[in-house]
Amino acid sequence: MTEHLKMDKIQPRLLDETGQGAITKPTPRPEGPLKVSGTARYAGEYKAENMAQGYLVRAGITKGTFKIDRDSVKDMPGFLGLFTDHMIRNSAQGTANTNPVQPGPQIQYLGQPIAVVVAETFEQARHIAHAVKVDYQREDDATPDFSTATNFKEQEKKSLSQGDLEQAMADAAFTVDATFTTSPHNSAAMEPHTALATWEGDKVTVRGSLQMLKYNQNELADSLGIPAENVRLLSHYIGGGFGSKLGIDAACVSAAVASRHLGRPVRVEMHRNNVFEAVVLRTPSRQRVRLAADKDGNLLGVGHENWQSNLPDETFSEPIDTATHFLYGGDSRTYATHVARLNRPASGSVRAPGEAIGMLALENAMDELAEAAGIDPIDLRVRNIPEVHPESGFQYSSRSLAQCLTEGADRFGWSDRKAPKERREGEWFVGMGVASAARTNILMESKARVTLNPDGTALVETDMTDIGTGTYSILSLIAAEMLGLPSDQVTVELGDTDLPHASGSGGSWGAASSGSAVFLGAKAIRRKIAERLGCDPDALRLQDGIATGGNVRRPISELLDGPVTEEGHIEPGKQEVTQAGFGAHFAEVAVNSVTGEVRVQRMLAVMAAGRILNEQTAQSQVWGGQIWGVGTALTEEIQHDHRTGHVVNNDLAEYHVPVNLDIGDLDVLFVDERDDYANPMQVKGIGELGISGAGAAITNAIYNACGVRVRDYPATPDKIFPHL
């Protein structure tokens, strides 16, 4: 049986009625001990009998064609094969569901994977990949540089103009018209993309490191030209994704291709350099933000235009202005997105695509407006929270933004904030900054199978993934809560396309979507138990393996004569509301008056994301967002050579993600909230809400500390000290 729900109307708050208590307390993730003891096995840790090893060959030119000379390496020790067929140019975009560009002999960026070398051992394969002779025909019309790019094209579907912003700017008492630039980013997940492919007849099984198996199955099948039912994907543990594993990658495709040719299992592990080139990166951006406000700081108009880049034939553009549409009021509104086609690695989704960089510009501009108008930045934000969506006129499904800002201000000690350069500790200027957080909330179709056994154990099965976010934990908690079991009695099986197809992990929709499917499957089981107990499902109470209903009380073991299995199926419905998670980020930073070095002393995130399913894993997600905020604001920058597009800092030594010492005290507070429009659990996504706005709080704090506005991210010392 399938319990199906199309989420087009609000649902009762069942999780407020169930009494198990599984989701009301912080709970450690069940697979934690496996991970910290090294016994959780990731794709690259599997071996197959007679397995060969593949290594990707990188293109050494920016644009042109190539011929690769197999004979130049065929006699090298261990050589098994060199394959170029079906090779994909870059990873698929999230939810693409089809093959990425397969350019054949064309090279469109330096570092593009052009072939896979297969040998008996990894070191042999790597050595052969270095040795293989490649003849290049260079084309000299490459356009790799963003700052001098001229071939921008407006994405007209993404443009919008409402009212008259020019007039609003002219009429305003206070205006901001500022241009911001952000650097390309890499997801920099700890685990490199890896795949182990094994064929049996015309069916291939690939162990990969992938976020969205339902889509990845189709993407791989399409890339190989085989039916999707002949592809099975396994991805049980994933060492971070952040968008880089949304789509099928060159490791999966080349491992499958090589394995088919050789008739033996092949494992391809991306080198860290490949991870910086062959998977999607965050686009660089230039953003112009205009704000027009009356004498009291009420917004009259908002403009947010952006310029970004991608490879030819990629449909993705980063929705940089997403939050600007619904966060603050103002009648006159202008948006535009321009994309240049450049010869550098593909742009795609990286952690909170849109808000992660769009809110840097918007929330910095709000800080500048607060300064210009002489209004406290928190007051300015609160007074500009609109009644309804300023463009669609829709109500907000739930929105605790004002509460987050004001409660956060109290907790953070905002009233101690001083004017720039007024707080000095030795060589350091110290200051505070604030930014709103907002992240669109999304529900995706998702299925899960739930089984309750008479012995009081339960099983959840779905091809959902856990990319470190806590999926194993929250799905076990939801099933435990609904079925009245201790959560350690619930086993969760994930990451296998043979299981019911889930939403996958991305867009912060995983918990809400796959969790709702588990919720619905368990709800159907509750109905069966109620039937057997002879009570109305609404009157059923399940706790610690005991069912109570009406005036009957019986253990589950007596009610069930065998396992009960139900499938849950959630689909998004049509609802005329604006749905997003909201919050407030606070940061206190110290800026060195000699060198311009910035140290984040403490941060606070007050988050309102509906019902929180597990405060512990949710907190970890928000910590991760705050830390991304530090990286975005201060250190992370893909450096492209402007002549070749070459990612020069293509490893973790030179691409600076924050280190422990960069992170001060992180405080997280959740606002109790229910979003009835979101899903039957009233939860909203939390992961990416944690980054949205976080970096802006830091750069606003830099200004408050030392009086320097950094509009060119990241705020490295050289952008600060010359102004001190």
Partner 1 sequence: MKPFDYVRATSHADAHDSAARIIAGGTNLLDLMKHEIETPTKLLDVTRLDMTEIEEAENSVRIGALVTNADLAADPLIRERYGVLSRALLAGATGQLRNKASTGGNLLQRTRCPYFYDTTQPCNKREPGSGCMAMEGRNRILAILGTSEHCIATHPSDMAVAMRLLDARIEIEKPGGEAQILTLDEFYKLPGDTPHEETALEAGDLIVAVHLPDAPKGAQMYRKVRDRSSYAFALVSCAAVVATDRGKITDAALAFGGLAPKPWRNTEMERLLIGEAPSEALFDKAADVLLEGAQSHGDNDFKIPLTRRVVKAVLGELTGATQ
The number of helices, as runs of H, and strands, as runs of E, in the chain is: 15, 31
Instruction: Please identify, among the stretches 327-335, 431-439, 515-523, 634-642, the one whose residues bind partner 1 according to the rule CB under 8 A.
Output: 634-642
Using DSSP's 3-state secondary structure scheme, residue 124 falls into helix
Contact pattern for partner 1 over residues 74 through 103, marking x by CB under 8 A = ---x--------------------------
Which residue in this structure is represented by tokens 């920016």? 62
156 makes contact with partner 1 (CB under 8 A): no
Closer residue to partner 1, CB minimum distance, 265 or 645: 645
Smallest distance from partner 1 to CB 184, Å: 13
Using DSSP's 3-state secondary structure scheme, residue 168 falls into helix
Which one among 89, 127, 423, 709 touches partner 1, defined by CB under 8 A? 127
Smallest distance from partner 1 to CB 635, Å: 5
Smallest distance from partner 1 to CB 594, Å: 4
Cβ distance 645 to 342 under 8 Å?
Answer: yes
648 makes contact with partner 1 (CB under 8 A): yes
- Structure token digits, residue 329: 């009021």
643 makes contact with partner 1 (CB under 8 A): yes
64 makes contact with partner 1 (CB under 8 A): no
653 makes contact with partner 1 (CB under 8 A): yes
Q: Restricting to residues 420-449, which ones interact with partner 1 according to CB under 8 A?
A: 427
Closer residue to partner 1, CB minimum distance, 11 or 649: 649
Q: Is the bond preceding residue 486 a cis peptide, omega within 30 degrees? A: no
DSSP 42-68: PGGG---TT-EEEEEEEPSSSSEEEEE
110 makes contact with partner 1 (CB under 8 A): yes
Closer residue to partner 1, CB minimum distance, 126 or 232: 126
- Structure token digits, residue 10: 């609000």
Contacts of 45 (CB under 8 A, 6+ apart): none
Which one among 147, 534, 574, 661 touches partner 1, defined by CB under 8 A? 661
Q: H-type helices in 70-121, by residue range?
A: none
Smallest distance from partner 1 to CB 351, Å: 18
688 is catalytic: yes
Helix/strand/coil percentages in the chain, nearest 5: 30, 25, 45
- How far out from the chain centre does Cα 688 lie? 6
Calpha distance 85→236 (Å, rounded): 28
Calpha distance 411→379 (Å, rounded): 16
Smallest distance from partner 1 to CB 51, Å: 19
CA angle at residue 228 from 222 to 229, to 5 degrees? 160
Calpha distance 524→547 (Å, rounded): 15
Q: Restricting to residues 564-623, which ones interact with partner 1 according to CB under 8 A?
A: 594-595, 597, 599
- Structure token digits, residue 357: 């960089």
Q: Restricting to residues 239-278, which ones interact with partner 1 according to CB under 8 A?
A: 273
718 makes contact with partner 1 (CB under 8 A): yes
Backbone angles phi, psi at 359, to 5 degrees: -75, -15
Q: How far is CA 95 from CA 99, 154, 348, 572, in A?
A: 11, 23, 11, 15
CA angle at residue 540 from 536 to 545, to 5 degrees? 145
DSSP 244-263: TTSS--HHHHHHHHHHHHHT
130 makes contact with partner 1 (CB under 8 A): yes
Instruction: Please identify, among the stretches 180-188, 290-298, 361-369, 643-651, the one whose residues bind partner 1 according to the rule CB under 8 A.
Output: 643-651
Closer residue to partner 1, CB minimum distance, 356 or 598: 598
63 makes contact with partner 1 (CB under 8 A): no
Which one among 177, 422, 654, 672 touches partner 1, defined by CB under 8 A? 654
658 makes contact with partner 1 (CB under 8 A): yes
Which one among 123, 154, 488, 536 touches partner 1, defined by CB under 8 A? 123
State the DSSP code for 293.
E
Closer residue to partner 1, CB minimum distance, 58 or 423: 58
Calpha distance 89→249 (Å, rounded): 9
Smallest distance from partner 1 to CB 464, Å: 34
Give which of 278, 274, 283 is closest to 247, Cα–Cα: 278
Active-site choice (3, 269, 314, 688) = 688
- Structure token digits, residue 432: 């505070």
Using DSSP's 3-state secondary structure scheme, residue 440 falls into strand
684 makes contact with partner 1 (CB under 8 A): no
Closer residue to partner 1, CB minimum distance, 58 or 585: 58
Give which of 651, 636, 639 is closest to 273, Cα–Cα: 651
Find the helix packing angle between 471-483 and 510-533, rounded to 10°: 20
67 makes contact with partner 1 (CB under 8 A): no
Smallest distance from partner 1 to CB 637, Å: 9
Instruction: Please identify, among the stretches 46-54, 146-154, 360-368, 636-644, the one whose residues bind partner 1 according to the rule CB under 8 A.
Output: 636-644
Smallest distance from partner 1 to CB 122, Å: 9
Instruction: Please identify, among the stretches 365-373, 472-480, 561-569, 649-657, the one whose residues bind partner 1 according to the rule CB under 8 A.
Output: 649-657
**Kind plus residue range of the DSSP H or E element containing 107:** strand 106-107
| Greatest alpha-carbon span in the chain | 82
Instruction: Please identify, among the stretches 121-129, 218-226, 297-305, 399-407, the one whose residues bind partner 1 according to the rule CB under 8 A.
Output: 121-129
Calpha distance 566→3 (Å, rounded): 7
58 makes contact with partner 1 (CB under 8 A): yes
Smallest distance from partner 1 to CB 277, Å: 11
419 makes contact with partner 1 (CB under 8 A): no
Smallest distance from partner 1 to CB 642, Å: 8
Contact pattern for partner 1 over residues 305 through 344, marking x by CB under 8 A = ----------------------------------------
Closer residue to partner 1, CB minimum distance, 478 or 587: 587
Cβ distance 94 to 467 under 8 Å?
Answer: no
Number of amino acids touching partner 1 (CB under 8 A): 39
Smallest distance from partner 1 to CB 125, Å: 10
Active site residues: 688
Report the interface residues with partner 1, using CB under 8 A: 58, 60, 77, 110, 123, 126-127, 130, 273, 427, 594-595, 597, 599, 634-635, 639-643, 646, 648-651, 653-654, 656, 658-662, 716-718, 721-722
